[in-house]
Structure 1
Amino acid sequence: MVIFHEEGTGRAVRFDCSDLPVAEPVRRWLVEVLAERAGPRSGVKRAKSFRSSFQTVRDFARALGSSEQPPALPSDISAVHIKAFRSLFPDPQAQRTCVHRLRVVLRDRTDLPEAARRELFGTRVATKKVSEQVTAYSELEWQQIMTALRRDVRLCRDRIRSGIRLLERFRSGDLEEGTRAAELGLLLDCLIRTGDLPRQSDGCGTDIVKRYGGVTAVVRMLTLSQQEASAFALLLAALTAENVGTIARWPALHRRPDGASENLSVALVEQRKPRRGPDREHRVVAVEDLPVSLRSVLERAYGSEPLFHSPLRVYELLLELTAPARLISGLTGAFVHRRLSNPAGRDSLWSQEIRVERWARTRGFPPVNHEGKGGLPGVDVRRVRQTALEIQRRPVSHTRNTLRDHYLRRSETVREQSQKVVAEALEEEVGKARALAGVVVLPPRLLELATQELEAAATEAGLAPHTLKGLMTGEQDTAVVACLDHHDSPHALIGQACPASFLNGCLNCVNARALPHHLPVQTVLYDRLAALRFNLDPQLWQARYAGPLARLDDILGHYSAAERDRARSSVSPSQLLLIDALLEGRTDLR
């Protein structure tokens, strides 16, 4: 028998393991596994969550007991038994869920045999279908939800502030005795002092209470309803991208980093995530205000609406509106509210429970599984957080890898944007590569034509006849290519001589043209640059010589291997000296 004690309620729930269909030593081992899962160092804090682990262990025991060779001892559990467990779930999604749960249950068991551990943790299971993954709301759906949330917050703000002002005027003696305002102020004072209103013997409010709308109407003048508290929680979740369940446990206490009490820009709030375990369940979250520049822009556009765009201002408003409820109830949470009635088994009318589905239903939103009815989306807290994270694009209570691999990876919007960004980057790099390897090579056929019909060859090359003639005679040679006009360079003002390097500049210039008589220098220079790769620091070689080598490679690609070999063997001593000067930088302007 495993007894699980809920952390929040203290309720003890018994889980009977006596009927597990395995040998007694294996049964004791499985009970130990469950006992560790139910222990104080586990991240499981509710019986409902523990029940899934219990059912997973029962399924695992069923697979062990029904196998051809049931294990007599825990050390007999093998990879075959893990495969038998997976075979219990023919549906890929059910298999994925159950295998994941078994991994969580057994991940800390060092006595699990190695073969079984490899099979359990090393084998990939079916991936979740994209259609079943949590998706973000569209812009229209998001605005519909946010509009409803802000409307609720605005209405309860105006109502409770009005009630607090009336109570203050009553206590200061500003209200004339016998007036309706004075009578209502007296009722509010009674509510603050006693926690309730005058009632008749049947539990209903007295006549004076009924005159002002009844118990609920008067109480609501100083307290939130559960739906309004849920609206606050959802709005904060949408603004901070935190989990709604985590926000619902926020305390009313916070601290400012610099110790000041006015003009807050950030409040540090301690929050708990019990499923992380006792070592990591406590975390301090920074609830931030909008930047001053953004807040001023929103104030000019929407008046007071920036209040509902700032997580800090919404949190401060929540504390302001729930202060009377905390004073009456003695509770310390940020979301204290008054129930309409006292449900069975409840000791108090005051609660901090958040019910998002009830808020959505009372505001006309359809259930999540009937989404789209009436033109409104279903309100799913998972989709709220997914949408907020896609908007913010920064990790919230998780690592950057989790944000990237879990939340953003499953987003269709992010995938489309990422594909666009990658495509633009690839196009840019392709453009750069083409520009780097963009030296125009004039083929021998064109030069032979020029010796007979200069104008026709020049027209085909897109050059003036005298320019083509200068290229052929070598009058416009630089070092490894020829230049159309060194006074019309992209590296200098028009009319000025080009100052670019013969090695890097000329090979990356729109004026550059490669002719067959340059091939000996180009082939030997290519060989020298390639050899330097293994004799220089990789980063230094990449910065100096990777570009020229790529452009030379593109030029040499226009010739056959035999042509390159003949050119390599025909290089002259003066050309070798030129190559040395290029590599040593003696041809560059200092």
Structure 2
Amino acid sequence: MSAGRPAALPAAGYVLPQRLFVGESECRVRVFPEDGGPPADIDLMVLPVSRELREWLAVAALGATGPGGPRRSVASALDILSILKRFTRYLATLQRPPTRPDQLGRVHVDGFILAGGKWVHRDLGSLRSMLRFAPDPPVEFWARLAQAAVPKSDGAVRSYSEAEFRRITKTAREQLRAAARRIRRAREVLRWWRSGQIERGDRAGWEQGWLLDYLDRHGDVPRQVDGRGRDVPTALVMRHGGPNTVIGNLHLDYADVAAAAVLLLCLTGQNLRVIDTATTNHHRPDAHAGGPATAVIELVKPQYR
């Protein structure tokens, strides 16, 4: 068994960066993601509550996004703002909304549940996970939040059957295979056009090759400014099916990307957030040696509580 190696330590004189910024005109938390990416700020000034309550929630967000918290990726950290918006917007609708943390009580948890909303079941767990980092949460409020739950709906929830799962996977594969054929055909036309194999006498073919070349070089279709000052595709683009069709010759369209996401969900068993934040960093264990093409992709799966 390998003895491993010591973890890297900060250099002498290292000072933790400031993460909490509060004042008359700001209330934000800076998040440094665990994957080493650029920091992001959670701006809590948008919360419709008093300054004292807002800063109390900011301390909770600070702990939840810190090294010991459950939200250490940018995506999960920024989700905090959506959760707090829903909770504080409910508080703002009350005849006497709380203005200090010690004014929060069990009635505010019950009212939030009764206010409903499709996210309330998820929000309760997220508030529990987050507000445990808040300083001195009110006893009555915390006791109710700790055991709060949303009654299950009468409708039964079921997974896709094996046949349905196979049908979904098959449809996604067919969509992506069709996209691959479409893009390969267009790449072949582009190669012919660039090598001079398409004569100007073949007007449609030559125009298609020219558009593909323009798209490949510029990442967009040719455009012009119309009489209203709008940036619109040229008549040539419209003659060949419009910008979506032309761009789709060399790139995946929305339906293709959706099919790719569905197929990745089906094949990996990961949730959508993990797939959405997956990187393109990879290595090729096949070494391009001519056997089955394989790639190992770097994937980070944050744990959400």
TM-score range, shorter chain: 0.5 to 0.7
SS in 1 for 2:160: coil
Matched, 1:191 2:215: yes
Kindly tell me: are residues 267 and 204 of structure 1, through their superposed partners in 2, closer, same or farther at Cα, counting changes over 3 Å?
Answer: closer
| Pairing partner for 2:131 from 106, 113, 125 | 106
1:153 — aligned with what? 176
SS in 2 for 1:223: coil
| Pairing partner for 2:271 from 216, 220, 243 | 243
| Pairing partner for 1:51 from 66, 79, 82 | 82
Matched, 1:32 2:56: no
Q: Give, in whole Å, the separation in 2 of the partners of 1:177 and 1:31.
A: 65
Does the 8 Å contact 1:2/1:15 carry over to 2? no
- Structure 1: which 5+ runs fail to align? 278-590
- Structure 2: which 5+ runs fail to align? 1-25, 32-37, 227-231
Matched, 1:221 2:249: yes
TM-score by length of 1: 0.36
Does the 8 Å contact 1:205/1:214 carry over to 2? no
Amino acid aligned to 1:246: V
Amino acid aligned to 1:193: R
Kindly tell me: are residues 221 and 132 of structure 1, through their superposed partners in 2, closer, same or farther at Cα, counting changes over 3 Å?
Answer: same
Q: Give, in whole Å, the separation in 1 of the partners of 2:155 and 2:303.
A: 24
| Pairing partner for 1:181 from 205, 210, 217 | 205
Does the 8 Å contact 2:286/2:292 carry over to 1? no
TM-superposed deviation, 1:255? 1.1
Q: Give, in whole Å, the separation in 2 of the partners of 1:101 and 1:245.
A: 16
Whose helix proportion is higher, 1 or 2? 1
Amino acid aligned to 1:240: T
| Pairing partner for 1:3 from 15, 28, 39 | 28
Q: Give, in whole Å, the separation in 1 of the partners of 2:225 and 2:137.
A: 69
Amino acid aligned to 1:204: P
2:35 — aligned with what? none
Q: Give, in whole Å, the separation in 1 of the partners of 2:57 and 2:225.
A: 56
Q: Give, in whole Å, the separation in 1 of the partners of 2:92 and 2:136.
A: 14
1:258-269 equivalences under 5 Å are 258=285, 260-262=287-289, 263-264=291-292, 266-269=294-297
Q: Give, in whole Å, the separation in 2 of the partners of 1:101 and 1:10.
A: 19
Cα deviations by residue, 1:442-467 (Å, 9 ceiling, x for unpaired): xxxxxxxxxxxxxxxxxxxxxxxxxx
Kindly tell me: are residues 251 and 201 of structure 1, through their superposed partners in 2, closer, same or farther at Cα, counting changes over 3 Å?
Answer: same
Amino acid aligned to 2:261: A
Q: Once the two structures are aligned, what percentage of the paired residues are identical?
A: 27
Does the 8 Å contact 2:175/2:259 carry over to 1? yes
Q: Give, in whole Å, the separation in 1 of the partners of 2:261 and 2:304.
A: 21
The count of residues paired between Structure 1 and Structure 2 equals 260
Amino acid aligned to 1:223: H
1:103-502 equivalences under 5 Å are 103-109=128-134, 111-112=135-136, 119=143, 124-126=147-149, 129=152, 134-176=157-199, 178-179=201-202, 180-202=204-226, 203-207=232-236, 209-256=237-284, 258=285, 260-262=287-289, 263-264=291-292, 266-273=294-301, 276=304
Kindly tell me: are residues 272 and 13 of structure 1, through their superposed partners in 2, closer, same or farther at Cα, counting changes over 3 Å?
Answer: farther
Q: Give, in whole Å, the separation in 2 of the partners of 1:219 and 1:54.
A: 38
Q: Give, in whole Å, the separation in 2 of the partners of 1:246 and 1:148.
A: 22
TM-superposed deviation, 1:135? 2.6
Q: Give, in whole Å, the separation in 2 of the partners of 1:220 and 1:138.
A: 33
1:72-111 equivalences under 5 Å are 83-88=106-111, 97=122, 99-109=124-134, 111=135
Amino acid aligned to 1:270: E
TM-superposed deviation, 1:113? 7.0
Does the 8 Å contact 1:188/1:218 carry over to 2? yes
Does the 8 Å contact 1:82/1:119 carry over to 2? no
Q: Give, in whole Å, the separation in 2 of the partners of 1:117 and 1:87.
A: 10
Amino acid aligned to 2:125: H
2:16 — aligned with what? none
TM-score by length of 2: 0.62
Amino acid aligned to 1:235: L
1:14 — aligned with what? 45
TM-superposed deviation, 1:136? 0.9
Q: Give, in whole Å, the separation in 2 of the partners of 1:17 and 1:200.
A: 44
Cα deviations by residue, 1:67-92 (Å, 9 ceiling, x for unpaired): 9xx99xx7x79xxx764444435659
TM-superposed deviation, 1:161? 0.8
Kindly tell me: are residues 10 and 169 of structure 1, through their superposed partners in 2, closer, same or farther at Cα, counting changes over 3 Å?
Answer: farther
Amino acid aligned to 1:107: R
Does the 8 Å contact 1:152/1:228 carry over to 2? yes
Does the 8 Å contact 1:250/1:271 carry over to 2? yes
Does the 8 Å contact 2:223/2:233 carry over to 1? yes
TM-superposed deviation, 1:52? 1.3
Cα deviations by residue, 1:193-238 (Å, 9 ceiling, x for unpaired): 233344455333244x444334433322111111211111111211
Does the 8 Å contact 2:106/2:141 carry over to 1? no
Amino acid aligned to 1:219: I
- RMSD over aligned CA atoms reads 4.6
Does the 8 Å contact 1:33/1:106 carry over to 2? yes
Select the structure with the greater relative contact order (CA < 8 A; seq sep ≥ 6): 2
